[in-house]
Structures are given as structure tokens and as C-alpha cells.
Structure 1
């Protein structure tokens, strides 16, 4: 079974936000990803709007829906973020934004403003009662719900109990261990978590620091349906395309 690749556009937005204006244009990059075979787009709007903004979320939702209508492909839009983060400025909150834009999937993540990026899964022993009505509301509106989780068996059981459709396994520690040639033990933990998830009817996604090298191993995870990749993919795009880009700029710098 092929694993769906959802491309996270946060880093493209971060580059855009470092200057005034709309360059690079996220809609064009989102379209480029889809035109080249990506199975979906992921955005992670935050109250601090350090990368993806609410307006980006609305525009990219339309890009995916139009692409799907034109091609007939099962392309998906995934919004991720913290459902408990309070509205701020023109950020209306994750759930109102999701209900407005109607993504195919909403991935709930326990991040906060003081985190540069997501670095742990939910502790459902303390947050289940808060998340359960949120999950129900999203599902009642036809949105699939995934919870960002560590490979903890009991936590994954709780994810099923409160109504999640899928889990997204946090792969940061796996990626770090892979760099040190010590990934076998963590991968085994993820495998056991995935097998449990499958046995109780949860779908399985994964994300964080996955790249071309470590995916060669991680793609063997039982039942893996989707990966969300952004940071490494953006860096690889720079590396793979840098030679041709430098040469192109050199050509326009030469005498006519």
C-alpha cells in the first residue's frame, strides 16, 4: 500500500513572512506540490502567525478543493494545531478555522507559543475531557480527526476511547536516533504502537523530522497511511535545486 505524502508548507510561509509582500506565494507552491504528485497539503496555523496565517489556510483549502475537482484525485487538505489556543487578532482559533474551511482532516497537536515546533504528543490522562467534545464537533461536521501522539500504548487506547479516527505518531525521537544509527529500539516501539492502533480501529499517520533517508526505514511501519513532511522536504528542495538555480542566475549576470 502506498503511503500518502502530505506536504507541510509552514517553512515556505516562514520565508515569506521574513519580508513584506507575498513572495514566495504559498498558493503557487501548494499548486506546484500537487501538480508534481503530492497527495495533500498540510498547514499549521498558530496564534502567533509565525508562518501559516488564517488567510493562507483559507486560500490553500480552495487550492486543494479546486485541484481535486479538476483532476478527480483524492487529494486532501490537513489543518493541524492546538485546539486550546485562544483566538488572537485575526486568528479565530483552530476549531472555528477548521469549521470554516472544511479540511479533510484536522490533526490536533498540543503545542504552545513558546515551542518552535511540536515536540511531544498528548497526555490524554489530563486532556481527554477537554478534547472529547472538540473531536465530536469536528466529526459531526464531516472532518476526520487525528491526534498527535507518542508511541504509548495506553495513551493510544485513550485516543480511541475519546473518538479519534487516527493518530499521528510523533517521529522526532526516531529521526534523532536514526542519525546516530540507534533507531531500531524506537522503531520497534512505534511498530508496537501501530499494531495496537490497527487492532482497535485507528488509522496511522506520522510526522516530524522525517526525510528521504529515514523514511526508507519508517515506511515499513505496519499500517502507515500518511506522512506529513515539510522541514526536510524544503531543505532538500534547496539542496537539489541549488546548482541549477546558481547557474541560471550566473547566466543572466553575463554580458549579453
Structure 2
């Protein structure tokens, strides 16, 4: 059995804060605090914290990333688009122990020319780079050719499959992409739409190192608390055959 790591995405903790405190996210009254949430997740056993710094700043703010860097004890996985402004923010605030996920279901094949200089800038700064991609062999091969350290396979279509036939098709795509990534010496992660019900399907995908999960854990936390929600997800990830 191979143990998968859990990265907890705290974006939707910030989403809740922004519904009331968008104009003053640093107010002493602003709650819930994403950094406090990150600490609870780490205490519960999470292997990393995931945060997506969007161009529109709809949830996570620049100061949140700075505070996460200062306070977390595991690692920070910063999701970002390939835009100069966000890349500059990332380079200003990250350290070598952190990772960047260029998020958004990238078409690496079509955007290789645009991605390559960004990847080199980040790697020169000592940052491990992951590309969030659809599970196709073409995308995996393109990511490997760009020299990134990791890929994160988009599991959304599997998670949202409404028919058994589609579920089987998407699962086979993910299995093939994971095998190809492993053969190319990439660390293979997965994320998007994974929850307590469909995680059994994820166990059928080989060579996974880490799952990045947010919405389902934050939703579950409303009923059982964040620490328990993280522990329940970790329990659901146990006995992964690898």
C-alpha cells in the first residue's frame, strides 16, 4: 500500500470571509481566517495547504499568501494563472519549500511557447512547478517535455460523470495519463471535484502522490468541524494500492 498525501484547498474559507468583509479583509473582525483554517488542517494531518490567487481576488488575497508562507509548517501549493502580474506576486512571496500549480486546465500543447518562460522563471527561483492538465497522453507528454516536476490530473469529469459508461471512460483516461506521467518521471497528483463519496474511484488510478481537495472538506466542516473533516478524508484515502 502507498500513502497518498492530502493537500487541503482553503479558498472557500476565504470565500466565506469575502462575502462580508471583501472591502476590509484585514479587519480584526474579518472571519473566518484562512490562516487559522490552514493551521487546523495541518494539525489534523494534511500534508500541504493549497490556495489559488486569482486575478480578480475573489477569495484569497495577496496578504493571505504572505501570511500562509509565514505560518504553515508543511508546504504551500500556490495555484495561479500564467499572467505576469500573478507570477510577479508569486516570485515576491514564495520560498523554495513551496510549489506553484499553474491552475485552470491548461492546454499545454497549445500554450507551450507562453508557458516555457514562466516555468523557467519559477524554477530559477527554486520553485517546483506543477501543471494542472486534462488527463490526455498529449498533455502529459507536453508537460514532461517542458521539464516541470509535477502534473495534477483534472478529475472533474470523473467526479461529475452522470452515467456509468462515462465514468468508466473518464477513469480509463485518468489511469492511462497517470501511467504515462509516472513513466516520464513526473510526480502525479490529482484534484477537482473529489469528495467523500467518489474517492473510492480515485483509488483505482495508479501512481498518485497527492490529492488536492477543498470544497468537499470545507462543506463537511460545517457539520463536523474542520479538523474532523480533514481526518475523515485522510481515513478515506487510506489503503491506496498505488
Q: Secondary structure at the match of 2:7?
A: strand
Looking at structure 1, the residues matched to 119 and 92 of structure 2 have their Cα atoms a distance apart, in angstroms, of 12
Higher relative contact order (CA 8 A, sep 6+): 2
Give the alignment of 1:101-116 within 5 angstroms.
101-102=94-95, 104-110=98-104
1:157 equivalent to 2:148? Answer no
1:6 equivalent to 2:7? Answer yes
TM-score, structure 2 as length reference: 0.84
Q: CA RMSD in A?
A: 1.7
Looking at structure 1, the residues matched to 88 and 199 of structure 2 have their Cα atoms a distance apart, in angstroms, of 31
Q: Secondary structure at the match of 1:169?
A: strand
1:203 equivalent to 2:187? Answer yes
Gaps of 5+ in 2: 22-26, 227-242
Looking at structure 1, the residues matched to 123 and 80 of structure 2 have their Cα atoms a distance apart, in angstroms, of 16
- Where does residue 234 of structure 2 map in the other structure? none
Q: Secondary structure at the match of 1:19?
A: helix
TM-score, structure 1 as length reference: 0.80
Aligned-pair distance for 1:99?
4.4
- Where does residue 117 of structure 1 map in the other structure? none
Aligned-pair distance for 1:158?
0.8
Aligned-pair distance for 1:109?
1.8
| Deviation sequence 1:166-205 (CA, Å, 0-9, x none) | 111111101011x544422211110001101111111101
Contact kept, 8 Å, 1:148 with 1:167, in 2: the verdict is yes
- Where does residue 19 of structure 1 map in the other structure? 20
Aligned-pair distance for 1:94?
3.1
Contact kept, 8 Å, 1:132 with 1:163, in 2: the verdict is no
Give the alignment of 1:185-204 within 5 angstroms.
185-204=169-188
Looking at structure 1, the residues matched to 45 and 174 of structure 2 have their Cα atoms a distance apart, in angstroms, of 27
Give the alignment of 1:92-171 within 5 angstroms.
93-102=86-95, 104-110=98-104, 121-171=105-155
Q: Secondary structure at the match of 2:174?
A: helix
**CA separation of 1:237/1:180 partners in 2, compared to 1, >3 Å: closer, same or farther?**
farther
Looking at structure 2, the residues matched to 109 and 27 of structure 1 have their Cα atoms a distance apart, in angstroms, of 21
Query: How many matched pairs?
Result: 216
- Where does residue 50 of structure 1 map in the other structure? 58
Contact kept, 8 Å, 1:204 with 1:225, in 2: the verdict is yes
Q: Secondary structure at the match of 2:132?
A: strand
Contact kept, 8 Å, 2:42 with 2:48, in 1: the verdict is yes
| Deviation sequence 1:204-239 (CA, Å, 0-9, x none) | 011111011111220331110111111111111113
- Where does residue 172 of structure 1 map in the other structure? 156
1:83 equivalent to 2:77? Answer no
